Amino acid sequence: MTSFAPLLQSFFTDRLMTQRQASPNTIASYRDTFKLLLGHVQEQAGKAPSALTISDLDAGAITGFLTYLETVRGNSIRTRNTRLAAIHSLFTYAALRHPEHAAVIQRVLAIPTARIQRNIVSWLDQDEADALLAACNQDTRTGRRDYALFSLAIQTGLRVSELIGLNIADIHTGAGPHVHCLGKGRKERRTPLLPAVVAIMGHWIQERNATADAALFATTTGRRLSRDAIEQRLRVTVATAAASCPSLNGKRVTAHTMRHTAAMRLLQSGVDTTVIALWLGHEQISTTNIYIHADMTLKENAIAKVAPPKAAAQDRYQPTDTVIAFLEAL
């Protein structure tokens, strides 16, 4: 066994779990990254993961792996950058323990993240949200669970990981009704609940009929719902809702879309972005500004307040040289 295997093991047990006390989601993400990386390098180099050395994971191998993620697995740029961040974290740790591989490590750490195109966020308007909830079959336990889940997500804007982690005790329906969650970065927050959602959650908790520490949203076998299960149930429900709400046809609706919906409702109600940032658990208010760019109503109101300039009409500019004309055409 080479020195890489104990390095990887100590990275998880010492660095992530002990020193940084990383969350289970972070550890799972890093684990998946290195399972994919080692599998890819094994296929390319013909070496078992236990036989790989740090030199086998040079900049060329890492770059090839990133290309494989995009071209073969069809991963997004964001996922590619997440995998690279995990690799950078390992090699930063390796730099302290294996200075003899400093040259290889520095070249890997120099691999840049890819630029991401920031698209305008998508959310559900009132008719689309109503159609989504109406499409939940109230005659089945699964439909009633989905109805409670989607109602809570649309009103509170909780992340899918936060929804998955909720226990029955996290829903408080008495005085000052709210939901308590442990969010990203281990930050606790409490989000108020509207009376309609309080009633929905009360009925669901009564039907759930489980202990306070049991999962709020569970499968028919009692296990905690997974991210994939929630996304699958959402796809099925959206397909049903599209029959009564044509605007949902062709619209990509994910669990994060419901989070965007909650944010846009707050913004359109005149809530300040700093409050929305606290509501959503954003680390920086700049993250919340994406909703301002997405809301055309705010932009239309702004342009309506701007008087058109009273400048005299001018002829259109024409380049005076063929080289300049070429540059203008680029």
pLDDT tens-digit profile of 198-246? 999 999 999 998 899 999 999 988 889 998 999 999 999 999 999 999 9
Q: Which of 47, 55, 58, 73 is nearest to 4 (CA)?
A: 55
The band of 329, judged by pLDDT with boundaries at 50, 70 and 90, is confident
pTM for the model: 0.69
Catalytic residue positions?
A: 159, 184, 256, 259, 282, 291
pLDDT tens-digit profile of 268-295? 888 888 888 888 887 776 667 666 666 6
For 95, phi then psi, to 5°, come to -60, -30
What's the pLDDT score for residue 167? 93
How far apart CA 150 and CA 297 sit, in angstroms, is 26
Contact between 256 and 137 under an 8 Å Cβ cutoff? The reply is no
Contact between 108 and 58 under an 8 Å Cβ cutoff? The reply is yes
The band of 43, judged by pLDDT with boundaries at 50, 70 and 90, is very high
User: Which residues have a Cβ under 8 Å from the Cβ of 230 and sit 6 or more positions away?
Assistant: 149, 160, 163, 164, 217, 255
Here the tokens at position 31 are 């684990």
User: Which residues have a Cβ under 8 Å from the Cβ of 126 and sit 6 or more positions away?
Assistant: none
The 3-state DSSP composition of the chain as helix, strand, coil percent (nearest 5) reads: 65, 5, 30
Question: How large is the angle between the packed helices 255-268 and 141-156, nearest 10 degrees?
Answer: 40
User: Which secondary-structure segment (H or E) carries 328?
Assistant: helix 322-329
Other beta carbons less than 10 A from residue 242's beta carbon: 19
Evaluated on CA atoms 169, 159, 80, 108, the torsion sign reads: negative
How far apart CA 305 and CA 217 sit, in angstroms, is 47
